């Protein structure tokens, strides 16, 4: 009687050591990398709200100053919602004018349509980043209120 010394007793599958499980093989890599910087994370969060995938109150603890009011004004119009293609953050970058502040931009693409989004992040005493301002396509949100 010959014993197979590579497989524990009672194990009947043919996987060897180090072979990934079937569930691990089914997982597909993400189509785009996970956000790694605060401005990349906020670009994704703002996109979710401004495309209608998330409610505005989802950003309550992530905004300061007028940013929440700006989102309240913008979100009902869902300016980044599209018919058909799901909008995605195509490009995102930021500039640090001083420690604890990021002036960021993102280009949002949905099919052939590309929109610009700019926002400001400020780091609080608790070291958490919060959105302090949001603009779409160069139009400050407050300017539309002043024109009306």
What tokens were used for 102?
A: 């990021």
Cα–Cα distance for residue pair 79/77, rounded to 1 Å: 5
pLDDT in single tens digits along all 148 residues of the chain:
555 556 667 766 666 666 655 554 444 444 556 778 999 999 999 999 999 999 999 999 999 999 999 999 999 988 888 878 899 999 999 999 999 999 999 999 988 889 999 999 999 999 999 999 999 985 555 544 443 3
- If 0-12 CB within 10 Å is exposed, 13-18 middle and 19+ buried, where does residue 36 land? exposed
- Smallest CA-to-CA distance from 92 within 30, 147, 41 is with 41
């Amino acid at each position: 009687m010959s014993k197979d010394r590579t497989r524990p007793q009672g194990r009947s599958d043919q996987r060897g050591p180090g072979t990934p499980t079937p569930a691990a093989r089914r997982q597909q890599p993400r189509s785009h990398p996970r956000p790694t910087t605060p401005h990349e994370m906020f670009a994704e969060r703002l996109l979710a709200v401004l495309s209608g995938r998330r409610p505005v109150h989802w950003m309550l603890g992530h905004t300061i100053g007028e940013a929440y009011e700006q989102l309240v004004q913008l979100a009902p119009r869902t300016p980044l919602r599209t018919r058909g293609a799901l909008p995605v953050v195509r490009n995102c970058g930021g500039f640090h004018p001083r420690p604890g502040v990021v002036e960021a931009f993102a280009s949002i693409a949905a099919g052939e349509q590309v929109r610009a989004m700019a926002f400001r992040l400020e780091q609080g005493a608790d070291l958490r980043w919060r959105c302090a301002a949001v603009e779409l396509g160069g139009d400050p949100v407050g300017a539309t209120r002043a024109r009306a």
